[in-house]
Amino acid sequence: MALLIRSLILCPRILFIVLAFAFVESKSQSLFTIGMEAAPQGARALIPVEMQSDPSPVAIQMDMMFNENIVLSEPTLRGNSSSGHEMASRLLAPGRRRIVIYSESNTAIPDGLIIDAPFQILPGAPSGLSQLQLQNVIAADSLAEQLGSISVTAGGIQVIEGGNGPTLRGFSVSVDGVFGFELNVLDGAEYRIEVSEDLQAWEELETITANGETLQFTDPDSPNLQKRFYRAIQIQP
């Protein structure tokens, strides 16, 4: 609401002040963005979904659409922005997973990473981009009223043929928002964990020597981050 003040002199000794209230219709806007990830055939890929919304919703429902002939959808994980909220997901049909995020106390969901969506790439999947989309997206406020304009940016999984290196699997987010994953590795090999904020510039986070065929990793800094990408590189056979 804007307040306009106008003064009118109707006679020399009296000043009249007119207050005009201009009501501007509030237009809510919400943007949901699906991330991109590259992974080899037979590996798992973790796809982030981020939200920017004004105002912030207290509940979200959406359908993740995927190609069931290329990837299998696994139960969705909470993101940093939804770590304090309830979440449920289930397969409605082949290629469609329904995801619901809500708060019993009507707590707003802040902007940022709202979910991580794990997918298992089928061993015989064709190489190339497998697109992921969101449909039937509904965002509601504390009065159970649907927010207005909703935009969605599609993402996907770039399937890489072959792949003899380490693969990331077993993704998890603790109740404290700490992100972790498992590496499928070679016993005795050395691996470098690298992180990035934009998939362009990478920096080393930790070097680990595998003691067995599975290696577990957690990132204690993850609760304080809006987003972070990970990759593992075998540096010693």
- Please tell me the distance from the alpha carbon of residue 78 to that of residue 175, in angstroms, as a whole number: 9
- pTM for the whole thing? 0.62
pLDDT greater at residue 38 or residue 116: 116
Decide if 156 contacts 33 (C-beta within 8 A).
Answer: no
Decide if 28 contacts 57 (C-beta within 8 A).
Answer: no
Structural domains in the chain, CATH included, are: 29-163 (2.60.40.680), 164-237 (2.60.40)
pLDDT greater at residue 23 or residue 192: 192
pLDDT tens across 60-104, in order?
999 999 999 999 999 999 999 999 999 999 999 999 999 999 998
- Please tell me the distance from the alpha carbon of residue 164 to that of residue 166, in angstroms, as a whole number: 7
